[in-house]
Amino acid sequence: MVIKNSEHTPDSILLYSIGVSGQLDDDFTAAFCPPGTHLESDGECTILAGIRADQSGILGLLRQLHNLGCAIRWMRTLPDKEY
């Protein structure tokens, strides 16, 4: 089954936020995240916020998190106006 969505394509740049268990630092964001990505904490997890990426970029970042042993707790897209 193919779902067609005329709003977004795999090349569309979207704004993402990802919550992971454990701690990340600024060295991780500098090495693996697009410019403008910043770290936050909600007490339960570290949040990578302000990630602007297309589908390929976000998959690469998720792979890096997985390879480092980070447990991804959630991921969401955000409206541009939030950041």
For position 9, what pLDDT does the model report? 79
Token pair recorded at residue 9:
């394509």
- The confidence score (pLDDT) of residue 78 equals 82
Residues 22, 1: Cα–Cα separation, whole Å: 36
On the question of pLDDT at 50 being above 90, the answer is yes
Which one has a higher pLDDT value, 3 or 34? Answer: 34
Q: Is the pLDDT of residue 18 over 70?
A: yes
Query: What's the pLDDT at 3?
Result: 54
pLDDT at residue 83, as a whole number: 43
Ordered DSSP codes for 38-69: EEEE-SSSEEEEEEEE-HHHHHHHHHHHHHTT
Domain 14-82 in CATH 3.30.70? The answer is: yes
CA distance 20 to 59: 15
Whether 15 and 83 have beta carbons less than 8 Å apart is answered as yes
- pLDDT at position 63 is 96
Which pair of tokens denotes residue 11? 């090349």
